[in-house]
Amino acid sequence: MNNKRYLITLATLVQLFFAGVVTAQIQEGDTLTFQLRTAVTGNYQTGNVELLAIRGRLDAVVKCSPKVVLKTQNSHMYQAFYGNKADNDLFSRNYIYYQPQRTLYPYAIAYISSNFRRKVELRYFAGGGATCQIVRHKNAVLKLSANAVYEQSRFSALTFSDGHYDGSDQISVWRASVFSYGSARVLGRRVRLFYDAYWQPAFDRRSNYRTQLDLGAELPVWKGLSFNALFTYTHENVVPTGTRPTDQLLSFGVSYNVQRR
C-alpha cells in the first residue's frame, strides 16, 4: 500500500472516531430529543501480510415531535488484502416511528445496502410494520417487530444458486420480516450486552430468505468512551453462482455515545 492510500485511511479513521464526539444506548422510545452513537474498528498490516480493514458505524435518533421519531443506523466495512479489495459494504437502516413510547407502535422502514462479496451492487427495500416492547427496564430491553416490505436488488451477476432467478441481474420480491432486539446491563450496570437479529423470507419462494445476527458487548471507559466487541453472522440463501451464502465477522474497537434532553 502506498503512502497516499495510508494517509487517506488514517484520515478516514480519525473522521469516523471524532464524528461521535458530540452519550448511550440508541432507543427510539427514550424521552431524549437527540441521541448519537458512533463506533469504529480498524486493522492495518504490512510485511508478510498486507491487510487493511476498516469498519465504522453511526446511529442517531431524533425526536421530531411528541409523537414522531426518526432513527437511522448506518455501517460501512472496507477490507483489502495485498491491495485487492475484499469488502466494500454499505448498510443503511432508516425508520419513522409513531408514538414509540407505547407498548405497541407502528413504523415505516427503508433500507439501502451493497455487498461486494455477494455481488450486490445496490439493494433497497421499503415498507411498514409494528413493534412490541416486551421488556422495558433501565437494565434490560426486549423488543419484537414484524413488517412487510418490497425489495429490489441489482447484482453484478446473471446466474444464482437458485436457477429460478437466472438470466437477469435484478431480483424484485415482497418479503416478510421478523426482527428482535435485546440488551441488558450487568456487573453493576458497567457492562452492556446486546443482540440484534432478523429473518426475511420472500412471500413467493421459500428458498429466497436471509438471516442476520449481531451479538455484542460494551464496556464503558471514560465519559461516554467505551470498548466494544461485536460478532456478526449473516446468511443469504440466494446468492450469485460461486458465492458462499454465509459470512461471520468478529471485531473489536471503540465507541462514543451522546444524549441530549
Residue 209 has a pLDDT of 97
Residues 6+ apart with CB under 8 A from 89: 76, 77, 78, 113, 114, 115, 116, 117
Decide if pLDDT at 21 tops 50: no
Count: domains in the chain: 1
Residues 6+ apart with CB under 8 A from 206: none
Compute the average pLDDT of residues 200-210: 95
| 9-13, 170-174, 215-219: which is most confident | 170-174
Decide if pLDDT at 22 tops 70: no
Residue 260 has a pLDDT of 63
Residue type, 171: I
User: pLDDT category, 29, cuts 50, 70, 90?
Assistant: low
DSSP state letter for 160 = B
Which of these ranges, 22-31, 79-88, 213-222, 246-255, has the smallest mean pLDDT? 22-31
DSSP state letter for 163 = G
Q: Provide the percentage of residues in the chain whose pLDDT is more than 90.
A: 51
- Following CA atoms 109, 53, 251, 255 in sequence, which dihedral angle do they give, to the nearest 10 degrees? -70
User: pLDDT tens digits for 39-52?
Assistant: 777 777 887 778 88
What rounded mean pLDDT belongs to the chain? 84
Q: Which residue has the cell 464524528?
A: 19
State which residues form the domain around 128: 3-260
User: pLDDT tens digits for 139-186?
Assistant: 899 999 999 999 999 999 999 999 999 999 999 999 999 999 999 999
The residue with greater pLDDT, 207 or 15, is: 207
Q: Which of 238, 236, 242 is nearest to 163 (CA)?
A: 238
- Between CA 136 and CA 196 the distance in angstroms is 16
Compute the average pLDDT of residues 185-201: 90
User: pLDDT tens digits for 49-94?
Assistant: 788 888 888 889 999 998 999 999 998 888 888 878 888 889 899 9
Give me the CATH number covering residue 201: 2.40.160.40
Q: Provide the percentage of residues in the chain whose pLDDT is more than 70.
A: 86
Residue type, 183: S
Residue type, 241: T
Q: Which of 133, 149, 178 is nearest to 28 (CA)?
A: 133
